[in-house]
Each structure stands twice: as structure tokens, then as C-alpha cells.
Amino acid sequence: MIRARRARIVATLGPASREAGKVVQLASAGADVFRVNFSHGLQEDHARTIANVRAAEAAVGRPLAVLADLQGPKIRLGAFADRAVRLKVGQDFRLDVSEEPGDASRVGVPLAEVFSVLRPGSDILLDDGKVRLRVRRSGPGYAETEVLAGEQLSDYKGLNLPGHAIPIPALTAKDRGDLAFALSQNVDWVALSFVQRASDMAELRQIVQGRAAALAKIEKPAALDALDEILDLCDGVMVARGDLGVELNPEDVPVVQKSLVRAARSRGIPVIVATQMLDSMIHSPTPTRAEASDVAGAVYEGADAVMLSAETAAGEYPLEAVTMMNRILTRVEQAPRWPELMRAEYPVEDGDADALVAAASRAAEAASTACIAAFTTTGRTSLRLARERPLQPTLALTPNIKAARKLCLVWGVEPRVVAQPSDPEELARVAVDEAVAAGLAPPNRRVIILAGLPMGSPGAANILRIAHAPRR
């Protein structure tokens, strides 16, 4: 049976959830895509995690996708001699390139490029903004700062420089090794962290060579200035509100989120809204009302997917978090005004739409239509349909398991692996049989069929047919 929702759930796997039985539970509860975070853990751990996802796929009887999330050039402090220090507002605090353990007066930053962009008056944020410094003096390899806010600092906390683009590559040596490993494991999506410019995505695509879909994480303000060029090179995009929220004013984050979702939808690429969606469920079996409203807002905007991070990776209630996310998505999509509000966020006219896809989407609005069945080799037809946000589900039928897994991230698309029909006359039979088997087509309801000739050739759909589920 098909789940009664169109938005998708991305669940991060970690110590709390990566074992085989847990992955099956999360998939059964509604997770569609499993994120493997290469910022933590060893490659051998990730290999076992990915194998567990593939086993879960067989257990639940539907495709599941693996998203490999590269660490990127996350800037972190060095270590402290006592692991943590107490700070006082107004005190002096030095950052430098020394590898000596830090103390309450200084700490090392193992990336000299940081200091090349600092100037007197520059703000430095540590530990996701919990500690704020202001530069008094700086030079090659050092910065003398004043503590403006924060009382405690510990080993390896993150460092952010609001308003500064740091001249470092998006793919570090670690990322290159992790990327090669991820591709060897046949992951379905690769996410590049801290994208700042279009050339970052171009480099990723050059390495990947189509072996996985490429996704840009937008978490640096510099990326917003080059957004169109970045999106031109993306198969998908993530609104990564963690680091983005550190470098932007809090009131700016929801505005940026909405604009990013609209930009992705206009291009027909999937967009994920991520970070702190159900953050309280790391330690609580239920979310706050504000968190539920936050998730609902993303659904009303028409985001393809929402993501759970620490909630499922390291939280105390990973299964409850996925279950709750599924409940929120389902409830919102049952609301009478959901279609109106979600479609109101669609930012473009249909003038450039593929005529056949647009016709199928309109035909699906009829009460007699049960679903759309799209035969696809690469997944492009289903992606184009998702851009139109048809209210009836799209059954993506493909002989290619890679294409099916990629589509797990896409709004309203239910991918299924089927043998390629050898004859156009088989299209209706296969489409109806799969729709009935999936519980999508009640007796005598219409199934809209999209396909292309010649069969099995990648390209635009050029056949639109209508079939009916059999009477009882």
C-alpha cells in the first residue's frame, strides 16, 4: 500500500539507528531516504550502514535511497588542554595556527586561510553562535579578539565567519576519499556541504560523472549570491538551516527558506528542508507545537522532503521521531486548504511546461482519476510531473533500480521496479496491474499513463493514454 502523503522523509542514520532492525523499523514508519553523515564515523561503519539500508529495502518491498553527506570544509577549533574552558565577556581571546592545546586565553585554528579574511571589527561565531568574538587585531596566522558573548568553549567546536567567503575548496582531501568510497558503495545521492559558488558543484559533478545525483547544501550566505548558477548544476538542493542560521539573522532564515524552496520548485529539482525540524525529540518522545508548525510550513510551501538529523542519528527516540514526522505530513496534506496553499507557492506559469506532462497533470485532477503511471528510464518524466504537483500520486515504473532510488526523494512519486514492456500494448496492462497492486487504483478508476517510444529509450514522454482498473 502507498503511504497517504506526498512529501518525503529523510532520516539520518547514526549510533541510535543504523543497526539492521532499526533501519527496517524507520523505513516501515515512513522514512524514504537515509542520510549517511560522513562528518562522523569510519568508512567501515558507513559500509555496514549502507548494507543495512539495502537489506531494509528488500524487507519493506519498496525502493529506499541512500544520501551520502560529505563533511566539506567545516572549520573547527583545535583542542584544549583541559577539554573545556570558561570565558568571561570582555576578556581577550587569541586565535592562532599553533597546534599547542588551548587554554582560557587562546586556541588553535588548523586552517590558516581563516585569518586571511579577518579584519578589525570582524565577528567570529563559535559553537553554532553560542560564543561570539570580535576581532581587534589580526595578521597572518593570528587574530586578537574580544569575547562579546558566551561562557564556555570546548574541543573542536565549529567556527563561522558571517559575511566572509573563505578561499578554501569545497572538497577537502577527506571529502575526496569519502566521495570515492561512497560511489564505490553505489549511493544514490551525494550532498556537498558549504557550497559557496557554482564551481564547487561543477567540481563535484566532474568527479561523480553521473554515478549518483548531486545535491547542494545551502548553508553559506555566499551561496545565496550565486544561487541561480549553483542550481543550474544541481540535481537537488538542501536548505541546511544549521550553519545558515548561524551566519544569518534569525528573522532572515524563514525568508531565505521560502525563496530557496520556490527557486528549486521552479526548476523542477527536489528540495529538502533540514535542521532542527523536531529537535526536542532528541530527548523527548513528543515535539513542541512550534516544531510541528515548522514542519507543516515546509509542507505548505511544497518542499519535496523534510529531514531528521540528530533526532534519528543520536536521539533517544528515533522511531518516534519518524513516526511523528509521518503523522504531521499526513495530517497537513489532509487539510482542505493544503492544495491551495501549496500550489500558491508555485512560482511559474505553465508556458514552458512539457505539453504531455501538463496534460497528464490536469487530467489527474478529475475525480475519476486514481493515479498517474509514468514509465521512465532515467526518472526525468517523473521529475517533470512532480514539478506540476499533481494531487494524485505518481507511480514511477522503471526497469532501473538506480532511477527508482533517486526518485525516493521526489514529491509525490512512488517508484517501483518493473520489467520494461516490450510492446506499447503492454503499457496499459502493466500500469494498471502495478497501480492495483500498490493500492492506488480502486475498481473502474482511471489510470493516466505516460510513456515514450521507442520503449526503453531515454527522452521525453510522447504517449498519453487512459486506462481503467478492472471492475470487481
The answer to whether residues 199 and 62 belong to one domain is: yes
Instruction: With respect to residue 2, please indicate whether it lies within any of the assigned structural domains.
Output: no
The answer to whether residues 37 and 97 belong to one domain is: no
Which CATH number does the domain housing residue 442 bear? 3.40.1380.20
The answer to whether residues 370 and 414 belong to one domain is: yes
The answer to whether residues 442 and 330 belong to one domain is: no
Are 448 and 341 contacting, i.e. CB atoms less than 8 angstroms apart? no
Question: What is the Cα–Cα distance from 31 to 63, expressed in whole angstroms?
Answer: 11
Q: For residue 145, which of 115, 167, 112 has the smallest C-alpha distance?
A: 115
**Given a cut of 50, is residue 351 above it in pLDDT?**
no
**Given a cut of 90, is residue 420 above it in pLDDT?**
no
**pTM listed for this prediction:** 0.91
Instruction: With respect to residue 165, please indicate whether it lies within any of the assigned structural domains.
Output: no
Last residue of a domain, one of 139, 160, 181: 160
Measured between alpha carbons, how far is residue 201 from residues 35, 163, 176, 399 in Å? 19, 21, 13, 29
Instruction: With respect to residue 201, please indicate whether it lies within any of the assigned structural domains.
Output: yes
The parent domain of residue 185 ranges over 8-73+170-340
Question: Tell me: the pLDDT tens digits for 8-65?
Answer: 999 999 999 999 999 999 999 999 999 999 988 999 999 999 999 999 999 999 999 9
Last residue of a domain, one of 340, 365, 380: 340
Burial 320-333 (b: 16+ CB within 10 A, else e): bbbbbbbebbbebb
Question: Tell me: the pLDDT tens digits for 323-346?
Answer: 999 999 999 999 999 988 887 776
Last residue of a domain, one of 127, 160, 193: 160
Question: What is the Cα–Cα distance from 467 to 472, expressed in whole angstroms?
Answer: 15
Instruction: With respect to residue 233, please indicate whether it lies within any of the assigned structural domains.
Output: yes
The answer to whether residues 217 and 357 belong to one domain is: no
Instruction: With respect to residue 301, please indicate whether it lies within any of the assigned structural domains.
Output: yes
The answer to whether residues 264 and 329 belong to one domain is: yes
Catalytic residues: 35, 76, 217, 275
Instruction: With respect to residue 413, please indicate whether it lies within any of the assigned structural domains.
Output: yes
Measured between alpha carbons, how far is residue 381 from residues 173, 346, 394, 430, 470 in Å? 36, 19, 10, 17, 26
Q: For residue 447, which of 387, 404, 392 has the smallest C-alpha distance?
A: 392
The answer to whether residues 69 and 205 belong to one domain is: yes
Instruction: With respect to residue 222, please indicate whether it lies within any of the assigned structural domains.
Output: yes
The enclosing H or E element of 143 equals: strand 142-149
Omega before residue 399 within 30° of 0, cis: no
Which CATH number does the domain housing residue 148 bear? 2.40.33.10
**Given a cut of 50, is residue 285 above it in pLDDT?**
yes
The answer to whether residues 184 and 276 belong to one domain is: yes
Question: What is the tally of structural domains in the chain?
Answer: 3
Instruction: With respect to residue 1, please indicate whether it lies within any of the assigned structural domains.
Output: no
Question: Tell me: the pLDDT tens digits for 173-222?
Answer: 999 999 999 999 999 999 999 999 999 999 999 999 999 999 999 998 88
- Confidence grade of residue 287 (pLDDT, cut at 50, 70, 90): very high
- Confidence grade of residue 352 (pLDDT, cut at 50, 70, 90): very low
The answer to whether residues 249 and 284 belong to one domain is: yes
The answer to whether residues 127 and 229 belong to one domain is: no
